[in-house]
């Protein structure tokens, strides 16, 4: 007999069916016992008899064969009168780490992460990763339909891409190597190699000493890079187009999960584009909030998002024209506004989820800029710079932090909730 998934039971024409899953709840009313069986698609009520009850415990894997009956009182209006029940995955615990069959897991986030495979059994926890899965699928769909090629680039590399000292070192035979902070150099070079439009969904590593609600030391970066652009606004158009597609895609494919988190996605998306310096002035005037030179801090991001929500009814805002001193050496200066670059951040509900911009594509200009940044072009020659000698087109791109966008769509409080197995300063296991 073939297995029927719980979500298919209601419309099944079979009288006798087999379901498989875990024991979610047991209601023992004496002669009659209700068991809730949970599989990846949902939860269904099983009615079993006293004899079957003998060896069952919460969270065992079982298979049950029985008759499908309508019952208004059962969750989903359907139940299975079980004729045969087999335990197919035994349990070996004294007590469960925490209860996952209540409305909410009451255990701390730390405890949930320590017992990750248990906390993920709660349907609402898994729903986060269903949404995350769809965010990636929508990214792929949208970019592929816009002529982008999916790439994979090395994560063990020989030099920094983003500047700063936030790199993990790795022993690479008799040399020292690093874990990639970003696919930045490779995605640019693949544009120049003739692919023109590329994207990658892959881990990025940051040895940052921040143990906050929004930082991970390993996160998934959704990267885009495209050639033959006019300026950075072409890049913002692609990102905005993706977000528009993503929201309509989620509305179509993830209604159930969005409802679990009480999330209503906006009908339209028109993201304001505001120069950083203007945002800083507004913060000072409206909220008496001083910003660090050439940037906005976490509190400023929250306040500015509030302003944008009130003024433009948008959860998103592009901050543009970041100063040269605050961007990596590969960023294209904006010749129209001295001291600034053709780069941007995207802020979503008070959190930066993206950095992007146009890059320097001219070999001489890039070499000089590396020197201006106090770096040695020789260090970049083989891994990056030389490829700019062969007709690199104007290009640019951006990266979205997958966990950050997931977290913000679902209004989660901590980025770790949107990470299956988070890596942070304290956590290397499980």
Per CB under 6 A, residues contacting ligand AMO are: 162, 182, 184, 206, 208, 215-216, 219, 221, 223, 352-357, 397-401, 403-404
CB of 106 to ligand AMO, least distance (A): 27
- When computed from its CA atoms, the radius of gyration of the chain, rounded to whole angstroms, is 26
The CB density around residue 313, as the number of other CB atoms within 10 Å, is 10
Show the tokens assigned to 399.
């990266």
What is the DSSP secondary-structure string of 314-362? -SEEEEE--BGGGS-TTBPB-TTSTTBBSEEEEEETTEEEEEEEEB---
How far, in Å, CA of 402 to CA of 133, rounded? 10
Considering the complex, state which of residue 22 and residue 344 has its C-beta at the smaller distance from ligand AMO: 344
Considering the complex, state which of residue 314 and residue 341 has its C-beta at the smaller distance from ligand AMO: 341
Asked if 89 contacts 117 with a C-beta cutoff of 8 angstroms, the reply is no
What's the burial of 61, exposed, middle or buried (CB within 10 Å: 0-12/13-18/19+)? middle
- 341 phi and psi angles, rounded to 5 deg: -120, 165
CB of 288 to ligand AMO, least distance (A): 27
Considering the complex, state which of residue 211 and residue 255 has its C-beta at the smaller distance from ligand AMO: 211
Considering the complex, state which of residue 199 and residue 245 has its C-beta at the smaller distance from ligand AMO: 199
Considering the complex, state which of residue 121 and residue 215 has its C-beta at the smaller distance from ligand AMO: 215
Preceding amide of 301 cis, omega within 30: no
Considering the complex, state which of residue 22 and residue 205 has its C-beta at the smaller distance from ligand AMO: 205
CB of 121 to ligand AMO, least distance (A): 26
CB of 275 to ligand AMO, least distance (A): 18
CB of 270 to ligand AMO, least distance (A): 21
CB of 63 to ligand AMO, least distance (A): 41
Handedness of CA 245, 246, 252, 258 (dihedral sign): negative
CB of 183 to ligand AMO, least distance (A): 8
Considering the complex, state which of residue 219 and residue 249 has its C-beta at the smaller distance from ligand AMO: 219
How far, in Å, CA of 341 to CA of 343, rounded? 5
Query: Which residue number is nearest to ligand AMO in terms of Cβ?
Result: 401
The CB density around residue 365, as the number of other CB atoms within 10 Å, is 13
């Amino acid at each position: 007999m073939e297995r029927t998934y719980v979500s298919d039971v209601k419309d099944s024409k079979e009288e006798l069916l087999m379901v498989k899953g875990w024991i979610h709840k047991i209601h023992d009313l004496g002669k009659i016992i209700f068991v809730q069986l949970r599989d990846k698609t949902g939860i269904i009520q099983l009615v079993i008899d006293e004899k079957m009850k003998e060896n069952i415990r919460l969270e065992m894997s079982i298979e049950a064969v029985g008759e499908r009956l309508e019952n208004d009182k059962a969750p989903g209006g359907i139940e299975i009168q079980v004729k045969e029940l087999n335990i197919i995955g035994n349990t070996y615990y004294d007590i469960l780490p925490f209860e996952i069959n209540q409305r909410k897991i009451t255990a701390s986030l730390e405890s949930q992460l320590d017992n990750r495979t248990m906390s993920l059994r709660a349907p609402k926890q898994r729903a986060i990763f269903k949404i995350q899965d769809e965010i990636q699928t929508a990214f792929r769909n949208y970019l592929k339909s816009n002529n982008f090629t999916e790439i994979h680039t090395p994560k063990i590399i020989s030099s920094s891409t983003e500047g700063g000292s936030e790199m993990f070192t790795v022993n690479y035979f008799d040399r020292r190597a690093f874990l990639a902070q970003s696919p930045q150099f490779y995605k640019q070079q693949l544009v120049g190699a003739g692919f023109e439009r590329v994207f990658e969904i892959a881990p990025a590593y940051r040895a940052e000493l921040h143990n906050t609600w929004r930082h991970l030391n390993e996160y998934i970066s959704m990267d885009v890079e495209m050639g033959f652009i006019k300026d950075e606004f072409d890049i913002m158009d692609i990102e905005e187009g993706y977000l528009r597609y993503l929201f309509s895609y989620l509305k179509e494919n993830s209604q159930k999960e969005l409802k679990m988190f009480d999330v209503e996605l906006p009908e339209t998306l028109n993201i304001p584009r505001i120069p950083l310096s203007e945002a800083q002035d507004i913060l000072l005037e409206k909220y008496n909030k001083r910003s660090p030179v050439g940037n906005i801090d976490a509190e400023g991001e929250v306040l500015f998002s509030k302003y944008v929500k009130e003024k433009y009814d948008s959860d998103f805002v592009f901050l543009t024209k970041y100063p040269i001193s605050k961007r990596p050496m590969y960023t294209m200066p904006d010749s129209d506004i001295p001291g600034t670059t053709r780069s941007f951040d995207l802020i979503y509900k008070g959190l930066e989820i993206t950095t992007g911009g146009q890059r320097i594509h001219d070999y001489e200009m890039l070499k000089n800029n590396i020197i201006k940044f106090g770096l040695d072009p020789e260090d970049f020659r083989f891994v990056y710079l030389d490829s700019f000698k062969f007709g690199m087109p104007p290009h640019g791109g951006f990266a979205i932090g997958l966990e950050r966008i997931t977290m913000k769509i679902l209004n989660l409080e901590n980025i770790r909730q949107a990470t299956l197995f988070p890596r942070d300063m304290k956590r290397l296991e499980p």
